[in-house]
Structure 1
Amino acid sequence: MTTSKYLDQFNPAKPTFNSFFRSTLPKPRLSQTILQPAPRRYNHFIAVSMASDMGNTDDVLVQYVVMRRDLIDSWPMGSVITQGCHASVAAVWMNREDHYTTKYCGDDNLDKMHKVTLEVKGEAQLVNLSEKLKGAEIGHKLWIEQPENIPTCLATKPYPKTLVAPFFKKLKLCK
C-alpha cells in the first residue's frame, strides 16, 4: 500500500499520530504534511516516508548490532567480535540496494558510520528480538553460526535512528 492512499485521507482539521509516530518522529512544522495513521502493519513504511518527506537531515543513519552476553562471557573475545562482524556485513549485503544502505555505505559517509552494539542475556532473548523485528518489518540478519547452528547475534540494516531506536531502548550497551 502506498503513502499516497493515506494522503487522500488527510483531514487538516483533525491531525493525529499514533504512539509510534509520537515516540519516533519529531513534531512537524505547520508547513509540513501530517498523515493519518495507517493500519499497524504499514506504520513503519509510512514513518520512513514521513521522515524523508520532512527532510529530516539531522537523523543519523545507524546500524544496531546485538550480541549475546552469555557468549561474551564464555567464548574468546575474537570469536564474539567475528560473530558481530558476520551479522553486520550480512545485513548490509542483503540490503545493498536499499536507499539507506547505499547512503550509509556511500563514499561521503564511510568515515562517519554509526553502529550501536547492545547485548541480550542469551539465545531466547535474541530470537525473541528477531521475531519482534520481523513483525515490525525491520530489516535485519539473525546470524546463526554453522555448523553448530547457534544463533549468536543480529544486526539491522542501516536506518535513521529515530525509526529503530524504540525497538532497542530496553537493551544495555555491550561492555
Structure 2
Amino acid sequence: MHRAVGPVFRSVRKMATSGAEPQVLIQYVVLRKDLSQAPLSWPAGALVAQACHAATAALHVHREHPHTAAYLQELGRMRKVVLEASDETVLRELAQTLHQRDIDHVLWLEQPENVATCLALRPYPKEEVSQYLKKFRLFK
C-alpha cells in the first residue's frame, strides 16, 4: 500500500514546483461540538469517524466536479478545515443556508437514529464559501 502512494506524492511535488501554482482548494467540515460534551459525551474516535464519513461522502457525491477532481489529484496539498457547530439545530440551519445558496455539501446523518452529526462541503476556493462559515470557530 505504501508503494502505491509514494509515486503520487512525488508527482505532486513536481507539479507544485513547476512554477504554475494551482488554485488553493479547501474542504470545510463542520462538526457538532455538543456531541463531545455531557450529556452526550461521545468519544473522540466517534467524532472523528463522523467527520470522516461526511468528508468522504462529500468527495464521493461531488467527484465529477472539477474542483473535487483537482483536489484529489494533489494528495500532498489537500487542505481541510474542521469547524464546530454548537448543536444539531445550528448544523441543520447551515445546511439549509448552503442549499439555498447552491453550495455543494453533504449533511451526514448517523443511522439508525437519523441524527445530523456533521456537514462537509466539497472542495471550494476559500473566497467562494467563507462568508457562510465565518461565524463558526475551529473545532477544539
TM-score, length-scaled by structure 1: 0.65
Amino acid at match of 1:105: L
How many Å separate the matches in 2 of 1:129 and 1:59?
25
**1:90 matched residue in structure 2:** 57
Flag structure 2 segments of 5+ consecutive residues without an equivalent.
1-20
The Cα offsets for residues 39-79 of structure 1, whole Å up to 9 and x where unpaired, read as xxxxxxxxxxxxxxxxxx67410000000010022101000
Segments of 4+ in structure 1 off by > 4 A? none
Give 2:86's aligned residue: 121
1:150 aligns with 2:115: yes
Which of these residues, 62, 65, 72, is aligned with residue 26 of structure 2? Answer: 62
The superposition leaves residues 104-138 of structure 1 with CA deviations (integer Å, 9 ceiling, x where unpaired) of: 001xx101101010001100000000000000000
Residue ranges of structure 1 left out of the alignment (5+ in a row): 1-56
Q: Which residues of 2 match residues 23-42 of structure 1 at below 5 A?
A: none
Q: 1:71 maps to what in 2?
A: 35
- State the identity %: 47
Q: How many residues align?
A: 117
Higher relative contact order (CA 8 A, sep 6+): 2
* Superposition RMSD in Å: 1.1
Give the structure-2-normalised TM-score.
0.81
- The match for 2:98 among 123, 126, 133 is 133
